[in-house]
Amino acid sequence: MVRACADNDRRAQEALYRLFFPEMLQMCRRYTRDEDTAMQIVNDGFLRVFKKIHTYAFKGSLEGWIRRLVYHSMADYYRNNARYLHFLVFEERDEAVPERGHESFYEEDILKAVRTLPPVSQEVFRLYAIEGYSHAEIASNMNISEGTSKWHLSTARQKLRELLSNGSPQNQRLNTAT
């Protein structure tokens, strides 16, 4: 199927798309509430998959390779569309790039660290730093005050700084920008 997709066989591409679409959509839904945005990200991701399928080396799972490309499409979407994305700096990692030390990180690692935050702080952080909502919009959506939204963001940033500066091997790939 992979070779047929690389040869631009539309039937094979459709079969691959149908096979992995539900799981990729589910992954994108975890990061956005908007169904249209999730669909756009998945479709952009599959476009990336079909453009790069000739580079798949049959090492590791095909699903993991596809998931990584769709995930990078999601990071690109938020990088290009977030109005206030000034806390996180993403680097595109479609190809294997050797680590360069503390200034180098992966989006997956940052999002893992974000998922360790308390639920409300995690949601405020995601809405503000990743999706680009203002504190007023977050307050309205979550039925909290703007001050509470700002407090949760501040708390989330402080906890992330602590998590990311603890020196663990995983966290050495992380970087925060203020």
Residue range 24-78, pLDDT digits in tens: 998 888 888 788 989 999 999 999 999 999 999 888 889 989 998 998 898 888 7
Domain locations in the chain as residue ranges: 2-81, 107-173
**44-58, 77-91, 138-152: lowest mean pLDDT where?**
77-91
Which CATH number is correct for 2-81, 3.40.190.80, 1.10.1740.10, 3.40.50.970, 1.10.287.70? 1.10.1740.10
107-173 and 2-81 share a CATH fold: no
CATH topology of domain 107-173: Arc Repressor Mutant, subunit A (1.10.10)
Q: Which long-range contacts (CB under 8 A, 24 or more apart) does 129-135 make?
A: 129/82, 129/84, 129/85, 129/86, 129/87, 129/88, 129/153, 130/31, 130/78, 130/82, 130/85, 130/88, 131/32, 131/78, 131/82, 132/78, 132/81, 132/82, 132/83, 132/84, 132/85, 133/84, 134/83, 134/84
The pLDDT confidence band at residue 82, using thresholds 50, 70 and 90, is: low
Best CA proximity match to 74, nearest among 15, 19, 125, 29: 29
Is the pTM value of this prediction over 0.85?
no
